[in-house]
């Protein structure tokens, strides 16, 4: 079984990131979906081999804006989502994921947690960890062979 912790839209909330330190240590992969990906510098320094970051519309760096990852036979596409119009619908996101041969698409930007399967692609938005929202959340994703189990976790 492979575990991934997926977060997005931290917007400088280092306190929330610090609360996840044990989960980061125990997880196989750590994915930040942008806005503000630089918040993860410390985590990326501690776990460089398993931390992936993409930039969002509030990031000012030269990192990648989308990536793919292969986990236990599943291809995962991840991006912030702003370039794919995810606030309107997920058609462009799903289309891009399928174009890349991915069956899972991770995105952020909307600050709203959501899991939905569309046209054979499992789409997951972990919500946000911004300090400007009442309900902070992230996704704990478990993959074992053909079984994919995403859990949206509210952070107290």
Q: What is the pLDDT of residues 118-137, one digit of tens each?
A: 999 999 999 999 887 889 99
Note the pTM of the prediction, 2 decimals.
0.97
Q: Return the percentage of the chain with pLDDT > 70, whole number.
A: 100
Give the mean model confidence (pLDDT) for residues 21-27. 97
Q: Which domains does the chain have, with CATH numbers?
A: 2-155 (3.60.21.10)
List pLDDT tens digits, range 32-83. Answer: 999 999 999 999 999 999 999 999 999 988 789 999 999 999 999 999 999 9
Write the DSSP assignment of the chain as a string of letters.
-EEEEEE---TT-HHHHHHTHHHHHH-SEEEE-SSSGGGGHHHHHH-TTTEEE---TT--SSS-SEEEEEETTEEEEEE-SGGGTTTT-SHHHHHHHHHTT-SEEE--SS---EEEEETTEEEEE-----TTSSSEEEEEEEEETTEEEEEEEEE-
């Amino acid at each position: 079984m492979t575990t991934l912790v997926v977060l997005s839209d931290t917007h400088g909330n280092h306190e929330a990131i610090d609360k996840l330190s044990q989960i980061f240590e125990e997880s196989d992969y750590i994915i930040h979906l942008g806005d503000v990906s630089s918040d993860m510098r410390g985590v990326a320094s501690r776990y460089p081999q398993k931390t992936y970051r993409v930039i969002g519309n509030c990031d000012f760096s030269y990192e990648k804006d989308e990536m793919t990852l292969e986990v236990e036979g599943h291809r995962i596409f991840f991006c912030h989502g702003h370039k794919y119009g995810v606030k309107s619908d997920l058609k462009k996101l799903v289309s891009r994921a399928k174009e890349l041969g991915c069956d899972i698409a991770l995105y952020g930007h909307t600050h709203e947690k959501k899991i939905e399967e569309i046209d054979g692609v499992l789409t997951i938005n972990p919500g946000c960890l911004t300090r400007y929202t009442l309900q902070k959340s992230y996704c704990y994703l478990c993959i074992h062979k053909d079984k994919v189990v995403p859990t949206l976790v509210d952070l107290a």
